[in-house]
Amino acid sequence: MPSFLYNQDQSGSSKKQLIWSLVFLLLSAIVIGITIMLYLQDRTKKEEALKIEAVRIQEEQEIALWVEEQKENNITQETMPPSDLGNEKEETILPLLPPPAPPSMDRMKKKGCVADGFLSGYGGDINSSIALVNRSQCYYMHRALETWLKPPDFKLARKIQEKVTKPNTVYGMFIAEAIKTNADYRFPAEDRDFDFREMCRKGSKNYWGEHSCKPSLEREEYRKYIRYITEEAMNMGIQSFLFGQVFYQDSADLEKSFMPEVIQEMREYAEFRGMEIVIGAQTNDITDEKYLRLFDYIEGGVGLLDDGRVEEGPCFSRWWKKPGDWCWALLWHHEFSDKANNVFLHFDWSGKLGDDMSVFTKMDEQERAETLRQLHRKFTSSGKGFLLPLLATLHKDNNGCHGPKERFYSASRKYSCQDEEVINDILR
């Protein structure tokens, strides 16, 4: 073979090798690039997940702190003489009070007020709260008897109720989604104490702080507890019962719900007592019409903005930005209201800054008055209920007007908010 042909062959082979080398390098670079990209994406997802988890942990810590602080809202030995305080450990048969007149749903919607923990001694100045209620034009006292992390003290509730001079007042009871597992509370029907540890929803240990959990209607012990406290409440004339965040208390599969059974038992006892009751629930974003219509009403917050307006969407944008985010449902939206029997709205509280009561109490007096007038007109004119704030819980760092304590709101003229006159004017 001539040398020049050999050289040409060698040259062609080198070019081919070079081309293949370049192709290999290019493919390697692509593979490495894809690998790096996937790694970075995975890292970003993990970082986002860690951030979300950190936010969740922080929120749970905030809630737990709020829970501990909320306990201090309860009545103390300094607010009423010891002789006037109830004693839940003392097993005493309380007399049956005469059945009250049937509650008017229309009046509850138009002349209802939030009086959180009024019959439980919340706020630290029970005498002031009693005077406020007696001066008020409120027909319905929403959440007057509380059960948050503490079983209801019916002796105390009756002592306070006896001091109310307003006739034909409808009282409400809140059946909380939070219980203390080490609570000491007698169950007379079985001559024993309730075992609150047997009431817990699986996986909810210490959810609301140490020795706490979410109760579950799937647990027989919890259903017995509900039966007992609601019957005792009816015996003293309480007519409205609200299940707090019912999705925590009921089965996750609504087809397996125990709520129909619980509601039926409550209505049967009311019929036995010769009285009428209404039963509601905090249903948030549940849209199952069959389930929602089990209740006489559903209840939730308004999503108050700094300028006194409320939004028109189904979820409050403070905590909802896109599909998949947690939805704090605005229940007047047709997505919920069209599937419910009645809707009650009010300034809600959540243990977080930025909730309805936080925003409301940071307004000046004139802004609060105008907001109350506008929202009462807006919701009642469309057939919904708007419950005006009389007594409610506040965030500890709210720095707005307040009642006897910075973490408790009172509309009383005795304290800094002084909203009772405008509330009574609206209700007149």
CB 135 within 8 A of CB 424: yes
Q: Is the pLDDT of residue 81 over 50?
A: no
Which amino acid does the sequence have at 289?
A: E
Interacting residues of 146 by C-beta distance below 8 A, sequence separation 6+: 116, 117, 119, 120, 122, 152, 174, 176
How does pLDDT run across 348-379, given as a tens digit for each residue?
998 778 899 999 999 999 999 999 999 999 99
Which distant-in-sequence residues (6+ apart) come within 8 Å of 10 by Cβ?
A: none
Q: Are 183 and 196 contacting, i.e. CB atoms less than 8 angstroms apart?
A: yes
How far, in Å, CA of 270 to CA of 173, rounded? Answer: 14
Closest CA to 161 of 78, 84, 271, 229: 84
Say what the alpha-carbon torsion angle 255, 149, 345, 402 is, to the nearest 10 degrees: -170
Angle at 23 between CA 22 and CA 25, to 5 degrees: 60
Q: Six-digit token pair at 268?
A: 């049967």
CATH number for the 72-427 domain, one of 1.10.150, 3.30.70, 2.60.40, 3.20.20? 3.20.20
Query: Average pLDDT in the 224-245 region?
Result: 98
In which residue are the tokens 């709210």 written?
398
- How far apart are the two ends of the chain, measured CA to CA in Å? 117
Please provide the DSSP assignment of 239-259 as one string: -EEEETTHHHHS-SSGGG-SH
pLDDT at 76: 35
Mean pLDDT, residues 136-156 taken together:
98
- Which residue type is seen at 247? F
* Look-up of token digits 């079983």: 151
CA distances from 20 to 14, 17, 23, 27 (A): 10, 5, 5, 10
74: pLDDT confidence band, cut at 50, 70 and 90?
very low
Q: How many CA atoms lie within 13 A of 225 on its CB side?
A: 30
The tokens describing 215, both together, are 């109760």
Q: What is the DSSP string of 110-162?
A: HSEEEETTGGGTTTS-HHHHHHHHHH---SEEEEEE--TTS---HHHHHHHHH
Which pLDDT does position 335 carry in this prediction? 96
Taking the C-alpha atoms of residue 105 and residue 139, their distance in angstroms, rounded to an integer, is 11
The pLDDT of residue 44 is 62
CA 100/CA 106 separation, integer angstroms: 17
Task: Work out the average pLDDT over 153-168.
Answer: 96
pLDDT tens column, 192-208: 999 999 999 999 999 99
Helix H or strand E encompassing 312: none
Domain ranges of the chain: 72-427
Q: Which of 23-27, 110-114, 354-358 has the lowest mean pLDDT?
A: 23-27
